Structure 1
Amino acid sequence: MSRARQGDREAYETLVARYTVPAHRAAVLLGAGDDADDVVQEALVKAYRQLSRYRGESGFRPWLLAIVANETRNLHRSRRRRDGLALRAAVATEPLPDEPDPADTVMAHERRQRLVDQLRLLGERDRDVLVCRFLLDLSEQETAAALGVPKGTVKSRTARALARLREQLRAEEVPGV
């Protein structure tokens, strides 16, 4: 990182190679959908331009993921302004290669789809904190850095978002309740 900050492009290329996949995954899970490649590319360009502002407090990965999250939010805002498209989330559709029973694969896909559908119904703050904590597997500190909020806020938002998600899932299981 220090070499990249001093203008060493090869060092930055190493960072790009190491963090492109997690950045892309974050963009997809935060709702960039088919535009995830563009979001990641824009985030990497912005990160390069802002290297002088990087303080190193939480590591490069959370800092980059914060930029990816901001770029994804910008994408959402432009989508709503432009054509009002709904948020699209990524769902893994390929069965696992060692999955012995096709029925298990179908059930797992349906559970994932149900979860993603319910995540879509959550507010942006709730969705973002759950995606960071559980789908991107970030720590509370990394999530705080990525979302630009204090660690305590991550804890409280996570608890409230999980409660809302559980409530939605229960309501879906028992219609009319």
Structure 2
Amino acid sequence: MKRIFLFVLLLFISIPVLAVDTSDWTSKSTDNGYSFKVPPTWQYNEIGTSDNKGVQFTIEEPETSASVIFGYKKEPQNQVLDESYLKKFVDEIASSKNITIEQTKSYQNGGIVVAGKDANGFINTIAVENTPAYLKIILFVFSDQKAVSKYSDTIHEINNTLTFPE
């Protein structure tokens, strides 16, 4: 069951999901260059430095919570980073966040996804994608399986509206 859940979580990044009603979402932008639409019950804030910009979205409800950070790290432009570099990079992120990696899935298009749990038992997924301009980083944190089911479609839709800084 746990392996099936993690596999489904990894696939949610690239598989279309059910339509989410975004009619009451607000268009926003941050000083660090991101633009997006955000649901009224979600909080957001910009994070990072001038070279490693990010935006974090969070929802906390009585029984569940979720958070997602979209960010990037400037890399030498127009360079394809190999799988060993990407694995080392996500291992560093996992270590800094105290995440025990339980599953890794590599993609041929210069990306990698890992899933695991942190010290609090929260479900974490780290996705890294090599783009020509930067290394795109996404960190998902869900309080439990119920939160994954409840918030995945919304996070997917936030991602669809997100524009990274240039």
TM over 0.5: no
Quick check: which one's helix share is greater? 1
Quick check: which one's strand share is greater? 2
